[in-house]
């Protein structure tokens, strides 16, 4: 069996104590992960701090090349990493699965090389010179979730390193193995200590996010944990980027063609079996098309194979872990108890692992838990509305504000409504598509700060204003 190891200061660190990582497609083992300790976190932060002294003064060209080199080694090892990712996360290789995630890692790493943060000249005349420079921050702590572990890891790592910081990443204990291997691979093109990884239980998270020598925390995960991370960062006033939960609403206007949009709705709600922060998680449909939308959406979805990530016929994989599966099942049964109608899926068969059928719930209503809470799984509630103002009000009533979408043939009308949605991103006739140059982040309790593009890169810097 492969022995997985942490990488600290460019060195392989194995542990005799390990924990089992479950393959969610089978319930069997995906591998043994080293159980890191507080001492390992301290060693990783110390290594990153030492490396920062030299990495922070490298030229921009060196750091751009590092991003290109990271993209290249990720491409060279994509097959190995995608196999490992599929085994521990559950997503199949094909479609928008593990291979797609590895492709995203390469695109984001490569694109980060092309971003520019030029010196801004505020004043340059006979009276003097004022320039604004962007400086790195120091050691960045990266904490990642289990849904897109490698892509989100790269979203943290690439801009941090490009801006001249050094990194300690701690992946989710549900999906740590692919990150361990990815960091090992990335270390072949980075100086020792620039990128370190520590694995262990959730308890190790606060040790890292509260560490006095960490200057910034970039965290992607649930809102509940994000609040704890924010509190732990207060002691030394760390900089923060928090990408948190969402409960994205989609609103269908009466002029859409239910059959034409069925495939778009499907991917909007069910990419990665619904375990995606900016998935559509509640769908508001006008009364006049409600039954047709339910029928066409269910007809398209019924043909999609959900199964083991190792099965090449699977389009979507299992729910990643037992706790999330239990939450999804609880929300479905609560919705049924409250009078909602299951029009597709609903109950698990006796398949192994955490495989759950794609589930559509009609006659869902605001106030039901399935609508008000983030389900983060392969189930979508469909809510009927008759007045679009009511739909917008309901969509905006959430404490979350990550994404939203409006669907219509009339793009101008959709745009007007889209701009009224309280969300960090809003899409028209789609939901959840990302671009490495387009800022991404949540409003309200979906997060703090921005990722991607120059806006995202700026978050890994501080400003120094020079007066001469």
From the CB of 138, what's the least distance to ligand NAD, in Å?
A: 18
Binds ligand NAD by CB under 6 A, chosen from 25, 225, 268, 405: 225
Neighbours of 468 (CB within 10 A): 8
Does residue 103 interact with ligand NAD by CB under 6 A?
A: no
Which CB sits closer to ligand NAD, 246 or 264? 246
Beta strands 166-170; 239-243: pairing state: unpaired
Does residue 222 interact with ligand NAD by CB under 6 A?
A: yes
Binds ligand NAD by CB under 6 A, chosen from 23, 86, 111, 144: 144
Instruction: Identify the helix (H) or strand (E) that includes residue 425.
Output: strand 425-428
What does the radius of gyration of the chain's CA atoms come to, in whole angstroms? 23
- The residue whose Cβ lies closest to ligand NAD is 205
Which CB sits closer to ligand NAD, 309 or 442? 442
Q: Are 245 and 446 in contact (CB under 8 A)?
A: yes
From the CB of 415, what's the least distance to ligand NAD, in Å?
A: 24
Site string for ligand NAD, 422-461 (x = CB under 6 A): --------------------x----x--------------
> Read out DSSP for 345-383?
--S--S-STT----EEEEEE-TTSHHHHS---SSEEEEE
Query: Burial letters for 267-300: b for 16+ Cβ neighbours within 10 Å, e otherwise?
Result: bbbbbbbbbbbbbbbbbbbbeebbeebbebbbeb
Does residue 145 interact with ligand NAD by CB under 6 A?
A: yes
Torsion, Cα of 224, 230, 231, 236 (10° steps): 160
Could you tell me which stretch among 41-49, 204-212, 287-295, 300-308 binds ligand NAD (CB under 6 A)? Answer: 204-212
Site string for ligand NAD, 235-264 (x = CB under 6 A): --------xxxx------------------
Which CB sits closer to ligand NAD, 172 or 187? 172
Does residue 147 interact with ligand NAD by CB under 6 A?
A: yes
- As a whole number of angstroms, the distance between CA 291 and CA 289 comes to 6
- Enzyme catalytic residues: 243
Binds ligand NAD by CB under 6 A, chosen from 17, 120, 124, 202: 202
- As a whole number of angstroms, the distance between CA 238 and CA 241 comes to 10
Cβ burial of 183 (10 Å; 0-12, 13-18, 19+) is buried
Which CB sits closer to ligand NAD, 10 or 433? 433
Does residue 396 interact with ligand NAD by CB under 6 A?
A: no
What SS3 state is found at 203?
coil
Binds ligand NAD by CB under 6 A, chosen from 90, 104, 159, 173: 173
Does residue 40 interact with ligand NAD by CB under 6 A?
A: no
Does residue 108 interact with ligand NAD by CB under 6 A?
A: no
From the CB of 231, what's the least distance to ligand NAD, in Å?
A: 9
Alpha helices in 306-437 (DSSP H): 322-337, 369-372, 388-396, 411-418
Beta-bridged to residue 21, according to DSSP, are 31
For the chain, the residue count is 468
Beta-bridged to residue 427, according to DSSP, are 405
From the CB of 286, what's the least distance to ligand NAD, in Å?
A: 27
Which CB sits closer to ligand NAD, 164 or 250? 250
Q: Are 452 and 434 in contact (CB under 8 A)?
A: yes
Q: Which residues contact ligand NAD (rule: CB under 6 A)?
A: 143-147, 152, 170-173, 202, 205-206, 209, 220-222, 225, 228-229, 243-246, 277, 374, 376, 402, 442, 447
């Amino acid at each position: 069996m492969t022995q997985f190891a942490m990488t600290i200061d460019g060195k392989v660190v194995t542990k005799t104590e390990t924990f089992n990582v479950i393959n969610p497609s089978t319930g069997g083992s995906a591998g043994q992960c080293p159980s890191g300790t507080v001492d390992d976190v301290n060693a990783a932060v110390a290594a990153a701090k030492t490396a920062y002294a030299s990495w922070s003064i490298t030229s921009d060209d060196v750091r751009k090349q590092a991003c290109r080199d990271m993209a290249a080694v990720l491409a060279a090892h994509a097959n190995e990493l995608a196999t490992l990712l599929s085994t521990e996360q559950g997503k199949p290789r094909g479609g928008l699965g593990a291979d797609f995630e590895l492709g995203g890692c390469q695109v984001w790493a490569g694109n980060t090389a092309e971003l520019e943060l030029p010196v801004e000249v505020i004043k340059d005349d006979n009276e003097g010179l004022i320039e604004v420079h962007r400086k790195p921050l120091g050691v960045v702590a990266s904490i990642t979730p289990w849904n897109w572990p490698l892509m989100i890891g790269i979203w943290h790592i690439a801009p941090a390193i490009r801006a001249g910081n050094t990194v300690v990443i701690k992946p989710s204990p549900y999906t740590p193995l692919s990150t361990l291997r990815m960091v090992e691979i990335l270390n072949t093109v980075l100086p020792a200590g620039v990128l370190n990884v520590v694995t262990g239980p959730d308890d190790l998270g606060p040790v890292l996010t509260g560490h006095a020598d960490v200057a910034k925390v970039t965290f992607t995960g649930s809102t509940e944990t994000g609040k704890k991370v924010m509190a732990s960062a207060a002691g030394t006033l760390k900089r923060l980027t928090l990408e948190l939960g969402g409960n994205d609403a989609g609103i269908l206007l009466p002029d859409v063609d239910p059959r034409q949009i069925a495939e778009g709705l499907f991917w909007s709600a069910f990419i990665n079996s619904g375990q995606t922060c900016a998935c559509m998680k509640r769908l508001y449909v006008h009364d006049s098309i409600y039954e047709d939308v339910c029928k066409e959406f269910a007809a398209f979805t019924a043909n999609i194979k959900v199964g083991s990530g190792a099965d090449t016929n699977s389009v979507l994989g299992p729910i990643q872990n037992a706790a999330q599966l239990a939450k999804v099942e609880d929300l479905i049964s609560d919705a049924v108890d409250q009078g909602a109608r299951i029009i597709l899926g609903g109950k698990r068969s006796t398949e192994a692992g955490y495989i759950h059928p794609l589930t559509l719930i009609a006659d869902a209503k605001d106030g039901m838990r399935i609508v008000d809470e983030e389900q983060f799984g392969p189930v979508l509630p469909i809510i009927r509305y008759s007045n679009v103002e009511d739909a917008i009000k309901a969509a905006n009533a959430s404490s979350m504000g990550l994404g939203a979408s409006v669907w219509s043939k009339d793009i101008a009308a959709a745009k007007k409504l889209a701009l009224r949605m309280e969300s960090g991103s809003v899409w028209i006739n789609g939901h959840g598509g990302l671009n490495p140059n387009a800022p991404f982040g949540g409003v309200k309790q979906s997060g703090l700060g921005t990722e991607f593009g120059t806006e995202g890169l700026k978050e890994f810097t501080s400003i120094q204003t020079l007066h001469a």
